A = this chain, B = another copy of it.
Amino acid sequence: MLKISDVDKKSKAYNCWLNYENCSVGEYQDFCNYIKVKSTHPIINTAIEELKFGLNKLMKKEPLILNYSPKSSYIFVGTLEDLKNEKLDVQIKNEILKEDGFAVKIVKEGDTDVLAIIGQNEKGVLYGVFYLLRAICSGNSLNEIEIEDGPYNLLRIINHWDNLNGEIERGYAGQSIFFKDNKVVEDLSRVKDYARLLASIGINGVVLNNVNVHKYETELITDKFLPDVSRIADVFRLYGIKIYLSINFAAPVEIGDLPTADPLDERVKKWWKEIVENIYRYIPDFGGFLVKADSEFRPGPFTYGRNHAEGANMLAEALKPHGGLVFWRAFVYNCMVDWRDRTQDRAKAAYENFKPLDGQFMDNVVLQIKYGPMDFQIREPVSPLFGAMEKTNVALELQITQEYTGQQKDLCYLPTMWKEILDFDTYAKGKGSTVAKVVNGSLFGMKYGGIVGVSNIGDSKSWTGHPLAQANLYGFGRLAWNPLLSPKEIAEEWTKLTFGHDEQVINTIVSMLMASRDIYEKYTAPLGVGWMVNPGHHYGPNPEGYEYSHWGTYHYADYKGIGVDRTVATGTGYTAQYKEPIASMYENIETCPDELLLFFHHVPYTHKLKSGKTVIQHIYDTHFEGAEEAKGLKEKWLTLRGKIDEEIFEMVLERLEMQIKNAIEWRDVVNTYFYRKTGIRDVHNRKIYE
């Protein structure tokens, strides 16, 4: 019987959207007394466990598990394959269901009504079970329950930036649940609880360790750690989740006693081949490697005069016989930029590095591309590399952890941003060539594709620090499964599952979530200019903190104007990396969207936006508004006192108060910064400090 780890008892926040507490089985009751299952596949066992667990919570009694048909209605659980021996009147063909897909149908067995959960494979069964439980808990009526569903993306992956010492790079929710004191943790019950959460939203892969692979982590791929890594794999496997590891490209030198890590060197190839073979001995369904190479001081093929394709393919060759993949990050740029040289443009780097290599990557390499050309800012254009790689598997990398978006102190519901990205039309093959179609491989007919998110969880009792940041993890999984969902319906679904069906609760929380990204953007860096954060930790304002750095992160504000001229006509020429008509839209200051104006153009503070306001007045207005609206979030939340779990209420309240402070700090620093720069007063005469 499924047991949730002890933390469960301590905090309702721990159970997230799988608490089954605010709903009941209702009209589904008739089906729920019996579950029929024949397969004993481990993942099917998991599915049954979950179904039993959920229904038990919903009915306050256990369903009976049978391997035969009862006399009355029941739930059938099985794969398409399992279905063959059944007498169920159900018409689903293999080709209808995508890999990992499922169908839920109400069918007849003789006179008996059967609710059939049928998976394309065992994972599909598990997803079908979670679908049913979600539908019941969302209050969806029985006559809407039928579905044939499959994932839009083959690869739905979480990247953990966890280090072996237990620290999480850019983690804002405690320490690693995998690692501690340079070891894999003994008790994996929390990992199991995590696997449940991930499987319930369709995630099928997890990279365990940080892309920045340090000394100890380099050895994760060796006998020293593999016995323990395989224990983690065993847990995830039951939930249909493969594990991956981030590797150090210099490992052959650092731990292999080789004099080189040159990807074309036979000794290096042999070394990796043996490493990979050994991994598969421990973990037969190992997913593959994630590689950050030649990026931010990480080693890579450049050291040996090789290119990224040569580097990636060498690893891909070793993995291929075992069915493993290489995720190769496109986050490659010169991080020793000279700020004096305005012709240099970090935004251009990924395209310049990878576009020329299109067609050279093996078919088990996936190029993992950050959503924007910079680094997870609150507002960036979509990376022009999407749509540019026509013969390369690509994946979209999103950041669920809120590095630049409030660090799980400030509320920032990210699916609103992600949806814009997925819907963005690259025009790669004419109108309608959305990012969603690029990354799932359908636009160019690629074998692999998907969406990757950098984890926002840690060992905090709510998993995500800010309980409402659970919505980001939930939303990530849901969008990776189906990018056609709207952020609002995801927010509603998550809110119902987490907090129940009180209309006021739903409306309030959904409205808070839906407004949150705009609010955060308003009080932080304006008009797409980005950065302006405190160096290092990246929380809070520091308008020139990164202005003279080597990171390529500039806004060039002087007493007259601000922004980065990335046009072809007078700037860095970045706009040319887009297909038409996008390139011209950004190139032309008249058609460039206001919210990205300073990303693409350097303009005087007196430049008029489409809104009719000057840039400087827009900055003042949005910053006053943003701070007010942050206060408004707290006011809204306060109306829910007594309507939701008290501990969660207080956890959120505490963070909303931090957010208000942060918003005020941003407002005042940014307004003062620009006032000191310009001497231009706010037309409304609000308080700007001198």
Contacts and interface: CB of A to CB of B under 8 A. Distances in A.
Interface of A: 339-340, 342, 534-536, 541-545, 547-548, 556-560, 665, 668-669, 672-673, 675-679, 689-690
Closest 8 CB pairs of A and B: A558-B676, A544-B544, A548-B669, A340-B689, A559-B559, A559-B679, A536-B536, A559-B677
Contact of A678 (B545, B556, B559, B689): B559
Contact of A548 (B342, B542, B547, B556): B542
A572 to B, nearest CB: 15
Nearest to A687: B340
Contacts of A536: 535-536
A665 B342 CA distance: 16
A506 to B, nearest CB: 39
A340 B679 contact: no
Given A542-B545, A545-B542, A557 B668 contact: no
Nearest to A534: B535
25 contacts: A339-B689, A342-B690, A534-B535, A535-B535, A535-B536, A535-B542, A535-B545, A536-B536, A541-B548, A542-B545, A543-B548, A544-B544, A544-B547, A544-B673, A548-B669, A548-B672, A548-B673, A558-B675, A558-B677, A558-B679, A559-B559, A559-B676, A559-B677, A559-B679, A677-B677
Contact of A558 (B544, B556, B690): B690
Contacts of A534: 535
A556 B677 CA distance: 11
A215 to B, nearest CB: 15
Contacts of A547: 544
Contacts of A560: 679
B340 A557 contact: no
A340 B668 contact: yes
A379 B242 CA distance: 59
A276 to B, nearest CB: 35
A510 to B, nearest CB: 34
A588 to B, nearest CB: 24
Given A339-B689, A548-B665, A557-B676, 17 more contacts: A340-B672, A340-B689, A535-B535, A535-B536, A542-B548, A543-B544, A544-B544, A544-B547, A545-B545, A548-B669, A556-B690, A558-B679, A558-B690, A559-B677, A559-B678, A560-B679, A677-B677
Contacts of A679: 558-560
A382 B356 CA distance: 61
A627 to B, nearest CB: 14
Contacts of A558: 675-677, 679, 690
A673 B690 CA distance: 18
Contacts of A669: 339, 548
Contact of A545 (B342, B544, B557, B672): B544
A475 to B, nearest CB: 33
Contacts of A672: 340, 548
Nearest to A543: B544
A560 B680 CA distance: 12
Interface centre among A340, A548, A559, A689 (most CB of B within 10 A): A548
A29 to B, nearest CB: 56
Contacts of A342: 690
Contacts of A673: 544, 548
A518 B240 CA distance: 66
Contacts of A545: 535, 542, 544-545
A546 to B, nearest CB: 9
A596 to B, nearest CB: 23
Contacts of A678: 559
A161 to B, nearest CB: 20
Contacts of A689: 339-340
Nearest to A536: B536
A541 to B, nearest CB: 6
Contacts of A668: 340
Nearest to A546: B542
A339 B676 CA distance: 14
A620 to B, nearest CB: 16
A67 B544 CA distance: 71
A535 B679 CA distance: 27
A557 B672 CA distance: 11
A97 B669 CA distance: 60
Nearest to A679: B559
A89 to B, nearest CB: 68
A677 B675 CA distance: 11
Contacts of A665: 548
A547 B548 CA distance: 15
A95 to B, nearest CB: 58
A633 to B, nearest CB: 23
Contacts of A340: 668, 672, 689
A342 B536 CA distance: 27
Contacts of A541: 548
A544 B547 CA distance: 9
A548 B672 CA distance: 9
A69 to B, nearest CB: 63
A560 B673 CA distance: 13
A340 B670 CA distance: 12
A536 to B, nearest CB: 6
A134 to B, nearest CB: 45
Contacts of A677: 558-559, 677
A318 to B, nearest CB: 37
Nearest to A677: B559
A679 B558 CA distance: 8
A312 to B, nearest CB: 34
A559 B680 CA distance: 11
A534 to B, nearest CB: 7
A558 B679 CA distance: 8
Nearest to A537: B536
A543 B339 CA distance: 14
A301 B342 CA distance: 53
Q: Tell me which of A535, A544, A675, A690 has the highest count of chain B C-beta atoms within 10 A of its own C-beta.
A: A544
Contacts of A339: 669, 689
Nearest to A664: B340
